[in-house]
Structure 1
Amino acid sequence: MYDKKILKDNLPKRMRYYQGMIDLNILEKGENYKNLKKSFVIFICTFDLFGLGRHVYTFENRCIEDLELPLGDDTTKIILNTKGTLDDVSPEMKKLLNYIDGEAPSDEFTEELEQAVKKVRDNEKWRLDYMTLQMSY
């Protein structure tokens, strides 16, 4: 369906693209930039893009010369990694990431999520929309 190497190589720029699309849809032409709200782009990946074993990689814009100086553009990009090995997330988040990675539901939340997924899969219109979306990749 898609080349995983291309997906990995393009992920940072893809996040940048989505950030731009979010901003374009929030602000009207001529509107004050102060009206842009905080925004988050969150990707859940079944691979470790950076190979550091983290479950969570969080990025904000900072000054290269002084990493303590934030740009203050209120944008955050988060990559959640189902293949993380460090003890860096809550047990609940770990169960969610394990579920996303293909394991059976292991708590009430992932069980509810499983039921919601089944409901969507059984909805003919949503399934057609999903298949159409998959063909565009």
Structure 2
Amino acid sequence: MVAQDALKNLHGRSVRLDIHAWADGQEFNVEIQRGGKGASERRARYNSSLMDANALPAGEDYADLPESYVIFITETDVLGKGRPIYVIRRMIEESCEVFHDGSHIIYVNSSISDEATPLGRLMHDFRCTRAEDMYYDVLAERVRYLKETAKGASSMCEAVEAIARDFAKDFAKDMAKDMAKDMAKDMAKDMVKDIAKDMAHEMAKDVAKDMAHEMAKDMAKDVAKDMAHEMAKDMAKDVAKEAEDRGKTSVVLEMLRSKLPMETIAQVSKFSLERVQELGRLHGLL
């Protein structure tokens, strides 16, 4: 069993599974959700698809794909039918027969804890905080270990810290990447537009002066034309470079204000760590 297991998708969004486990040739994903948004039908479908995509090694037969179970344990009845459990499988509509592809999606509504049934007693234990009040010994023993022994408490703290670190790392990485991309794109576009407009205006005046001075000679027209063309190309390159540097600097300052790690800022901006630190000190952010 793996807690907070990340399944990678090279062509799209990856996922982090709360619990990812295997038993008797079957694969399980258990998600604990307090709100309905995180337990949508399409998220269940997506988790199931990535489990399948990562389960079968290259060259293996499709028949070796394991039975898979995506199980959402929800605080409320997110499907809204008043049932304690919902078992979802694909079916053949014309005959109402199950389509045996080995894929299973299950929603457990923990708001119904009918202690007269095994599932109800399990949901009671799921919400229970006292080991002595639990029905299932295996859960009670685990709760006692985690809450009433020093070793258990230490292992729980370590697990929580590891989850927090992984979450913070992924969140910071995604946020920095998206923020840098969007901000750099928008700021560079606006800055290039404004700078190019001002530079073009000044350049036009200067070129007009030079050309007016030389127009008395017949050859001055061609020379001025060639010079203006080369100047425009060089200046456009300089403007683009200046805009790129300004855009990067603005993004770096914004990320420093957001307290992102300097190694992350350096990686995103392509600036050296020393340059990031210099900018932070220069603007009073370090």
Q: Normalising by the residue count of structure 1, what TM-score does the alignment of the two structures yield? A: 0.75
Answer yes or no: is the 8 Å Cα contact 1:120–1:126 preserved in 2. Answer: no
Aligned 1:35-114 pairs, distance under 5 A? 35-67=64-96, 69-84=97-112, 91-102=117-128, 104=130, 105-107=133-135, 108-114=137-143
The one-letter code sitting in structure 1 at the alignment partner of 2:125 is Y
Q: Does 1:6 align with 2:34?
A: no
The code of the aligned residue for 1:126 comes to: A
- Tell me if the contact between 1:53 and 1:83 (Cα under 8 Å) persists in the aligned partners: no
User: Where does the alignment leave 5 or more consecutive residues of structure 1 unmatched?
Assistant: none
How far apart are residue 13 of structure 1 and its match? 1.3
Please give the root-mean-square deviation of Cα atoms over the aligned residues, in Å: 2.9
- C-alpha spacing 1:116/1:41, structure 2 compared with 1 (3 Å): farther
Task: Give 1 or 2 for the bigger CA radius of gyration.
Answer: 2
How many residues are paired up?
131
Q: Which residue of 2 aligns with 1:122?
A: 154
1:133 positional shift: 4.8
For 2:265, the equivalent position in structure 1 comes to none
Are the equivalent residues in 1 in contact too, given 2:128–2:134 (CA < 8 A)? no
Structure 2 segments unaligned to the other structure (5+ residues): 1-32, 172-286
Q: Which amino acid in 2 is paired with 1:72?
A: H
> More helix by proportion, 1 or 2?
2
User: Which residue identity lines up with residue 100 of structure 1 in the other structure?
Assistant: F
CA contact (8 A) 1:95 1:110 kept: no
Q: Give the distance between the partners of 2:34 and 2:71, measured in 1 at CA.
A: 21
Q: Greater relative contact order (Cα 8 A, min sep 6): structure 1 or 2?
A: 1
Secondary structure at the residue paired with 2:72?
strand
